[in-house]
């Protein structure tokens, strides 16, 4: 089970401050569970793990099986929460060099992504790959008119229909969209695509445990039952234990924010978690950043970023705190070799596993940063697997909702994301703008 350690924040905050926040957190929990707080029509995620049925999962599994059987590649089209959650989990659980493995070694299709950018070269290069491979499409959009995914889907729909023919291509496209309305729903009905519903009461950035995330994840070969088992365990813990880790994390980060720590850096010592950090950045940035408020979410991957961002974190402006996702055990073991003559001076490491060396780097970094004025929160997972990822997802979602309420904002809307679109559409000459 996930464990939260705040000992390296206690020289920056007091027990009295924690006690004071525990009372405020209790009120925030009441607002969440009684659905009386801001954005209460978007709280479907709060009991989603326990409400997901075997019938729901079996339909997702059957669809994923069909897609996998006919595809070398599955392209997931979406942006923001419509793709980041799935990619976060898939990358966390995959071989780091998955793209170089044959389908026989992977057993299942390679998952690629489109619609998260409008890069001309990116989409041209993707189409050139798809020319040579059997593929299917999972398109994710509540409305069907979100600019980046809509552009990508128009391109890929034309490509797949030209490659396989209009009738055959219908069996290679699955749409995740609104239950009754929107451009993608209308198109899916007219074309006969299989569809899954994006729940009305679950916002995109909280949607990874809906079909939005679960369908791509199982198509990539991972066990969604175990992911939901982990999420259910954290859901139950957060509801039943007043000292649960999500509540404590929300309290500590907001106490630190009140002391001028306006930037939170989420760090990991595992390259597999790069996109999990990206998912977290969207979850917290889009949920908290409004009304002139918010803790700025940044991400680093250690030890590589100790050679770039490390100087600023150690000696820069003292407006940051760190949260570190720490993995106790690696999936594999690799011992460092002994070399006669010790030409690089590293024989003192001989016989130690790289996992042990990485953990010592983590401990040494934490000691240096805390002594340099950077509070550290630690999130410990026994290992990086489906169950622990499920726990981590729900932990961050619950803490995010509480943090938004502590800041006094609605954590479930995103009024600021439309500003760039208005300007872009004016520049492109969209009618009616």
CA distance 233 to 387: 9
Rounded to whole angstroms, the Cα distance separating 60 from 42 reads: 23
Question: What one-character-per-residue DSSP string does 25-67 give?
Answer: HHHHHHHHHTT-STTGGG-GGGGHHHH--HHHHHHHHHHHHHH
Instruction: Please tell me the total number of residues recorded for the chain in this structure.
Output: 433
- The arrangement of strands across the sheet holding 194-197 comes to 110-114, 73-77, 135-140, 173-177, 194-197
Dump strand ranges (E) for 71-147: 73-77, 110-114, 135-140
Give the closest residue to 135 by CA, choosing from 158, 155, 114, 163. Answer: 163
Tokens found for residue 296: 């700025």
Virtual CA dihedral for 27, 29, 34, 36, nearest 10 degrees?
60
Contact assessment for residue 349 and residue 335, using Cβ atoms and an 8 Å cutoff = no
Separation in Å, CA 308 to CA 101, 166, 312, 338, 411:
31, 50, 8, 29, 32
Residues identified as active-site: 286, 307, 421
Q: What is the spatial distance between Cα 266 and Cα 299, in angstroms, rounded to a whole number? A: 5
Using CA atoms in the order 75, 77, 80, 81, what is the torsion angle rounded to 10 degrees? -80
Strand partners, 84: none
- What element of type H or E holds 268? strand 263-268
Cα gap 380→265, rounded to integer Å:
16
Q: Which two tokens stand for residue 5?
A: 């350690």
Is residue 208 a contact partner of residue 85, using CB atoms and an 8 Å limit?
A: yes
């Amino acid at each position: 089970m996930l464990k939260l350690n705040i000992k390296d924040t206690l020289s920056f905050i007091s027990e009295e401050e924690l006690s004071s926040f525990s009372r405020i957190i209790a009120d925030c929990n009441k607002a969440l569970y009684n659905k009386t707080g801001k954005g209460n029509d978007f709280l479907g995620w709060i009991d989603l793990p326990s409400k997901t049925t075997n019938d729901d999962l079996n339909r997702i599994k059957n669809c994923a099986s069909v897609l996998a059987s006919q595809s070398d590649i599955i392209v997931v089209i979406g942006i923001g929460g419509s793709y980041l959650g799935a990619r976060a989990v898939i990358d966390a659980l995959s071989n780091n060099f998955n793209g170089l493995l044959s389908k026989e070694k992977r057993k299942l299709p390679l998952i690629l992504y489109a619609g998260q950018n409008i890069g001309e070269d990116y989409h041209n290069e993707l189409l050139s790959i798809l020319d040579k491979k059997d593929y299917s499409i999972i398109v994710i959009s509540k409305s069907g008119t979100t600019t980046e995914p809509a552009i990508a889907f128009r391109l890929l729909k034309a490509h797949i229909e030209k490659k396989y023919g209009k009738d055959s291509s219908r069996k290679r496209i699955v749409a995740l969209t609104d239950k009754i309305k929107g451009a993608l729903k209308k198109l899916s009905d007219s074309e006969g695509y299989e569809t899954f519903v994006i729940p009305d009461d679950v916002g995109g950035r909280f949607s990874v445990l809906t079909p939005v995330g679960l369908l791509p994840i199982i198509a990539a070969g991972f066990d969604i039952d175990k992911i939901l088992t982990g999420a259910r365990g954290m859901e139950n813990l957060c509801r039943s234990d007043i000292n649960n880790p999500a509540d404590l994390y929300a309290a500590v980060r907001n106490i630190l924010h009140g002391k001028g720590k306006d930037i939170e850096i989420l760090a990991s010592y595992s390259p597999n978690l790069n996109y999990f950090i990206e998912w977290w950045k969207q979850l917290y940035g889009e949920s908290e950043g409004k009304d002139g408020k918010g803790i700025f979410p940044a991400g680093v991957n250690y030890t590589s970023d100790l050679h770039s961002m490390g100087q600023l974190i150690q000696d820069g402006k003292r407006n940051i705190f760190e949260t570190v996702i720490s993995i106790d055990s690696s999936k594999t073991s690799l011992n460092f070799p002994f070399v006669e003559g010790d030409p690089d001076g590293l024989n003192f490491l001989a016989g130690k596993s790289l996992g042990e060396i990485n953990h010592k780097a983590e401990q040494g970094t934490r000691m240096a940063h805390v002594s340099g004025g950077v509070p550290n929160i630690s999130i410990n997972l026994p290992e990086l697997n489906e169950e622990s990822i499920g726990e981590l997802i729900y932990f961050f979602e619950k803490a995010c909702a509480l943090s938004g309420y502590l800041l006094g904002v609605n954590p479930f809307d995103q009024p600021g994301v439309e500003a760039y679109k208005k300007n872009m559409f004016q520049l492109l000459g969209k009618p009616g703008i």
